[in-house]
Amino acid sequence: LLLPRSWQPMTSVCPIGRYIQRREPEAGFSLFESESLKFPGFVEFDDVNGKVLTYSAADKVYKVWDLKNYTHLYSIQDINIHEIKISPGIMLLIYHKSCNGGHVPLKILSIENGDVLQSFKHQVHRSKKIDFIEQFNEKLLVKQEHENLQIVDVRTGCRTEVSSSQFLTPSAFIFLYENQLFLTFRSRAVSVWNFRGEKVSNFEDHTLWHPDCNTNSIYITSQQDIIISYCKQNESEFGSINVSSILNGKSIARITAKESNGREKAALEDVTALFYNEERNEIYTGNSHGYIQIWSN
């Protein structure tokens, strides 16, 4: 990441932006027209595995597609599936609790062909709500209401627990596969953890704007060492774009609107999407008013 002393709005646009400006939707093409993707249906693009996961709510069918050419690879149809989590090379199928509530059935599938690699049951407290079940490679993270976080190695069965007073249930996760770490988001705070259950760092200047953690306005660099987010500024009605080190929590840079620049203020009002182009060293933002801005040094 190249860090300029100051970032400025950029008026030129990339080729994709030109199609948008020209209002030429025919330059693109439609995807997944056969699927009913309205909520609770969804589409999830997985660039790590080069796959796309869709869920058609009308048919209750999960489908996996090739991200390169959008070819349909295979389908999964099971009404007992509660959720699917994707990790490098594998998918975790989380089923509804057993009839007596004492365990959750789980399956690990190959992301390439859908073959079942492992089936097992995770014991849970019958009367307590499951806050989340997440997977990171061979590690399974399980948290129930008012209970400790459990980090389980599904290969060996070894288990690490983190006190519920130390690990509060987050609203979202981002797994950092390169660094064997994970980020948690709770309210407006971001924390970094390792899989021994230890908090690695806190951020000195990275208070998120959205209290419900809108991860669309958060970007992690490809080296997974820097986080760029839309953040709150103290005593300001306008947000800022903050750049921080993930490994030590230090602030690296911050983009703010000049007091006299109405265009910059408009661009940094209620940002809902953020992307960093690492090749061009440009940050793209879009907000709830439909305003798209490119920031460049």
In terms of Cβ atoms closer than 10 Å to its own Cβ (0-12, 13-18, 19+), residue 81 is: middle
For the stretch 226-283, pLDDT in tens is 999 999 988 778 899 999 999 999 999 999 998 888 889 999 999 999 999 999 899 9
pLDDT recorded at residue 164: 92
Q: How many residues does the chain have?
A: 297
Of 89-98, 189-198, 211-220, the poorest mean pLDDT is in: 211-220
Take residue 193 and report the two structure tokens written for it: 């953890």
Whether residue 206 contacts residue 251, with contact meaning beta carbons closer than 8 Å, is answered with yes
Q: What distance in Å separates the CA atoms of residue 8 and residue 296, rounded to the nearest whole number?
A: 6
- Mean pLDDT, range 129-146, rounded to an integer: 90
Query: What pLDDT is stored for residue 23 in this prediction?
Result: 67
Q: What is the mean pLDDT of residues 211-218?
A: 83
pLDDT (mean) for 211-216 = 80
| Residue 1 confidence class, pLDDT cut points 50, 70, 90 | very low
Q: What is the pLDDT of residue 10?
A: 46
pLDDT at 97: 87
φ and ψ at 11, to 5 degrees? -90, -25
Tokens matching residue 285? 């933002």
